[in-house]
Amino acid sequence: MGKDLIYTEKYRPRFHFTARKNWLNDPNGCVLFAGEYHLFFQHNPHGNEWGNMTWGHATSPDLVHWHELPCAILPYGGGDIFSGSAVVDWNNTSGLGDGIGPPIVAMFTHARSPCEQALAYSIDKGRNWRVYNSGQYVVPNQGLDGYERDPKIFWHLNSRKWIMALWVKTNTVRFFTSDDLIHWSHASDFVGDGFWECPDLIELPVDGDVIDKRWVLNDANFNYWIGTFDGKTFQPESGPFQGDFGANFYAAQTWNSTENRVVQIAWMRGGEYPRMPFNQQMSFPCELSLRKTSDGVRLYRLPVPEIESLYKETTEFRDMLLDIGQDLDTGIIAGLLDIEIEVELSSGASFSVIVHGRSITCGSEQITCLGNTAPLALKDGVIHFRLLIDRTSIELFGNHGEVSMSSCFLPEREFASVQCRADNAPVYVKSLIVHRLCSAWE
């Protein structure tokens, strides 16, 4: 395929990250440094299917526009480079810096039998990478599962230690502490029913209160627990809860070094991209927050506001009453869209938005998108939801982030306009705002 056609292919996502070519899966090493968001990812540089696991690498100034760089960490010593994470070692605790600037240090699973955890580092802002100590492990296999994997590392301010969360077997995450990112001590284990690989542990304020904070621990399926963490032990207070109700959300990771906000990205596992030079895509980056609800404290997700840099045209509809079975044809051809909808629903009423021939339907207690259903209750008689629509995916955010659904699809009717319908009772549409997006690759 000619160079000028890359990123314009029929099924190429236009504002969700994809590798220029070949296979992609788990996000790895997410870290912000020197104004650049680094996104590493499981990547097969030699083919369109899983295999030859390497850390691919891309950077962005804004989480929207990405530039793919050469692969960062390549297989060695008879083992592939599985998932992991990265930090900026600001005080050079590792001693791996050059005395000019802090190194970026990545920890990854060296996938051989048995798996072990190893380090790589960069002293030139992430452009070139060296494996530490000829690639020898810094954390040996724990003897619990031959495929222990996916270390998530971060700096814990209160204990002034580096922390690692490592999946060591089904249901179990093992926590380690370190002063220098090289020598690690076992601190505790967390046992959570069903916990499966790719752990992430983050601290968030509740309703923005910097005094009232909780820790959130999640697995690859985005089941999450809310609790406390003292630098050694995670104590759950509630959970597990389902973090995403769509069909294609997996192995999410948050960026390190983003200061007062927590940003997450995931692999949208299992999407289809017929006859494309690439395979698989990432979710759109989202900010996470904790909020008090009638059911207790829960995690909320919303797209990062930087998506507004892609807005090129906005159309608004307000204060419309749709009778039973009445359609509203917006006249807007479905394409790259960010749609926000707020509707009033009576008991038993339902309302649908039709995009690319697919219906997104909400009622008084739930919402359905691409064959998956999530609980979504009325708030003072109103439901609010938002849709990010790309070439091969729809991401839905209900009631300002209370519910999220991330799913892939292939468009059935590519040139149909966006429509709305009152299904079985009159519906009052308070607002329907459609932002047309340009491609992030332009």
Span 218-225, average pLDDT: 98
C-alpha–C-alpha distance, residues 217 and 305, integer Å:
24
**How many alpha carbons fall within 13 Å on the CB side of residue 37?**
22
Residues constituting the chain:
442
What is the residue type of 173? V
C-alpha–C-alpha distance, residues 118 and 121, integer Å:
10
DSSP per-residue letters across 280-347: -EEPPPEEEEEEEETTEEEEEEEE-GGGGGGEEEEEEEEEEEEPTT-EEEEEEEPSSEEEEEEEE--T
Closest residue by Cα to residue 218 from 246, 199, 232: 199
pLDDT tens, position by position, 349-396 = 999 999 998 999 999 799 999 999 999 999 999 999 999 999 999 999
Is the backbone of residue 251 left (phi > 0), alpha (psi -120 to 50) or beta? left
pLDDT tens, position by position, 236-253 = 999 999 999 999 999 999
What is the average pLDDT score of the chain? 95
Report residue 1's pLDDT band, with 50, 70 and 90 as the boundaries.
very low
Specify whether the CB–CB gap between 40 and 56 falls below 8 A: yes
Report residue 316's pLDDT band, with 50, 70 and 90 as the boundaries.
very high
Among 26, 80, 200, 244, which one carries the catalytic annotation? 26
pLDDT tens, position by position, 61-72 = 999 999 999 999
**Confidence (pLDDT) at 411:** 86
Span 146-163, average pLDDT: 97
Tokens of 438: 């340009």
What is the residue type of 363? G
CA torsion angle 369 373 376 381 (round to 10): 70
Domains in the chain (CATH in brackets) are 3-303 (2.115.10.20), 307-437 (2.60.120.560)
Dihedral angle sign, alpha carbons of residues 77, 82, 84, 87: positive
Span 291-299, average pLDDT: 97
Question: What are the φ and ψ backbone dihedral angles of 305, each rounded to 5 degrees?
Answer: -65, -15
**Confidence (pLDDT) at 4:** 61
C-alpha–C-alpha distance, residues 126 and 57, integer Å:
9
Q: Strand pairing partners for 382?
A: 344, 379
Report residue 334's pLDDT band, with 50, 70 and 90 as the boundaries.
confident
**Confidence (pLDDT) at 5:** 78
pLDDT at position 175 over 60: yes
Helix (H, G, I), strand (E, B) or coil at 132: helix
C-alpha–C-alpha distance, residues 328 and 233, integer Å:
54
Closest residue by Cα to residue 126 from 179, 200, 55, 65: 55
C-alpha–C-alpha distance, residues 166 and 149, integer Å:
6
pLDDT at position 305 over 70: yes
Within 364-426, strands assigned E span 366-369, 372-375, 382-389, 393-398, 403-408, 417-422
Tokens of 125: 């802002």
Tokens of 386: 């938002």
**Confidence (pLDDT) at 3:** 53
pLDDT at position 185 over 60: yes
Respond yes or no: is residue 26 known to be catalytic: yes
pLDDT tens, position by position, 52-111 = 999 999 999 999 999 999 999 999 999 999 999 999 999 999 999 998 999 999 999 999
Report residue 186's pLDDT band, with 50, 70 and 90 as the boundaries.
very high
Specify whether the CB–CB gap between 67 and 60 falls below 8 A: yes
Residue 93, exposed/middle/buried by CB under 10 A (0-12, 13-18, 19+)? buried
